[in-house]
Amino acid sequence: MSDAELVNLDVNQPLWEHFFTVAPLILVGTKEEDGNYDLAAKSQCTPLGKSNYFGFVCTPHHNTYHNIKREKVFTVSFPHPEQIILTSLSAAPRCDDHSKPSLAVLPTFSATMVDGVLLKDAYLYLECQLDRIIDNFGENSLITGKIVAAAVQNKALRLSGFDDQDLLLKAPLLAYLSPGRYAKIAHSNSFPFHSGFCQ
């Protein structure tokens, strides 16, 4: 690749608006101080290694951060692509009184092991106990949790003897293409692991 094909970016400024990256799009559920429940869309999220830990980026400017810090638990719902409007509604701004009326239209059900709610008809659910919050990534924080309960829709469950591509056709995934776009993933290819590769 020649130098003419590269554009140097100013690392003294945020980089992420200048290109696309791919991430899951999830709803994080928390309990508010007044006893109501909140669902908030998040895209900077990931399993933390092969063990049952999960983390996502949040900011102390959001209620999600303070709810988790206080209650020590949170839930995670992975929506289907057909639930993109519901996912968008969860990201609606709060009113002056800090209420979030858009949440009233989100269909939810109670978590089984933690005090929280999950989005109905999502394909994957995690219930987490707070492990730790790591602050000061600029204005952001990494919130991590130990998964204490998990469930996946039967049609999205990987089973030996079934082709992974057929599974994705039957249960496509919702991906966030930051900044500001989303995609439905229904096609994939097997990764060409080198002989002897160990995960």
Span 123-167, pLDDT tens digits:
999 999 999 999 999 999 999 999 999 999 999 999 988 899 999
Span 180-189, pLDDT tens digits:
999 999 999 9
- How many domains does the structure of the chain reveal? 1
Give the helix/strand (H/E) hosting 23: strand 21-24
Pick from 98, 119, 102, 101: nearest CA to 110:
119
**Residue 176 contacts by C-beta under 8 Å, 6 or more apart in sequence?**
22, 23, 24, 25, 43, 182
Q: Is residue 6 domain-resident?
A: no
Pick from 86, 68, 87, 75: nearest CA to 25:
87
Query: Does the reported pTM lie above 0.75?
Result: yes
Q: Which residue has the tokens 């200048």?
A: 18
Q: Is residue 164 domain-resident?
A: yes
Q: Are strands 173-178 and 21-24 parallel, antiparallel or unpaired?
A: antiparallel
| Distance between CA atoms of residues 29 and 78, nearest Å | 11
Q: Is residue 1 domain-resident?
A: no
Q: Is residue 192 domain-resident?
A: no
Span 61-112, pLDDT tens digits:
999 999 999 999 999 999 999 999 999 998 877 777 777 787 888 999 999 9
Domain that holds residue 139: 21-185
CATH number of the domain that residue 70 is part of: 2.30.110.10
